[in-house]
Amino acid sequence: MTVDAAEKILERNSLKAKVDSLRQSGKLVIFTNGCFDLLHAGHVRYLQEARKQGDCLVVAVNSDRSVEQIKGPGRPIIPDNQRAEVLAALGCVDWVTIFDEPDPLVLIKLLKPDVLVKGSDWPEKKIIGAKEVKEAGGKVLRIPLEAGISTSAIFERIRSASGKKTKEEPENQTL
């Protein structure tokens, strides 16, 4: 049975109830967060590896306002509800929630995940919620990132190519 992606996007109180129920049945809850502005192979590989660490993967997505605070004007490219929908459609992702705060600490304290996952580009001492998760008996895992695959690199390739015409682009192309 497949689950509709929309059913996997939850507001935080509904998500907490589901996480608490899983924990009561002895399941391990994994948590990660990010902007996920343009989903790419590096994200997918990262999320698949994160999911292997337990029984349920929760992905917290920065809201549009939060992304703009972090990344600056012009970001995000993709609205938060669409970023959440794409993530929820992945088989390795169990639930998605959107958070509006600058960081996920409030959400991490609420959900109390067993495993907190971030990319290896984050030193553990800078991972928001690491202290709280470890104090509660959980663990923090840093997953190696795929070299050369990043949203920033994709944006740079788009910027570099934006002024160049390709064979497929006629001089007076109209849409």
Let me know how many helices (H) and strands (E) the chain has, helices first.
7, 5
CA distance 55 to 26: 9
Is 89 domain-assigned?
A: yes
Q: Range of 110's domain? A: 5-159
Whether 68 contacts 75, CB under 8 Å = yes
Is 170 domain-assigned?
A: no
Residues in the chain, pLDDT under 50? 166-175
Question: What are the residue ranges of helices labelled H in 25-115?
Answer: 41-51, 64-71, 80-88, 105-111
What per-residue confidence (pLDDT) applies to 164? 59
What per-residue confidence (pLDDT) applies to 167? 47
What per-residue confidence (pLDDT) applies to 48? 97
What per-residue confidence (pLDDT) applies to 166? 45
**pLDDT per residue over 102-141, tens digit each?**
899 999 999 999 999 999 989 999 999 999 999 999 999 9
What per-residue confidence (pLDDT) applies to 2? 62
Going by C-alpha positions, the residue among 47, 50, 14 that lies closest to residue 139 is 50
Partner residues linked to 9 by β-bridges: 96
Going by C-alpha positions, the residue among 61, 58, 119 that lies closest to residue 93 is 58
DSSP designation for 129: T
Q: Which two tokens stand for residue 137?
A: 């008996």
What per-residue confidence (pLDDT) applies to 120? 92
Is 167 domain-assigned?
A: no
Is 173 domain-assigned?
A: no
Largest CA distance in the chain: 63
Whether 113 contacts 31, CB under 8 Å = yes
The total of structural domains in the chain comes to 1
Entry pTM: 0.87
Is 166 domain-assigned?
A: no
Is 169 domain-assigned?
A: no
Domain CATH number, residue 102: 3.40.50.620
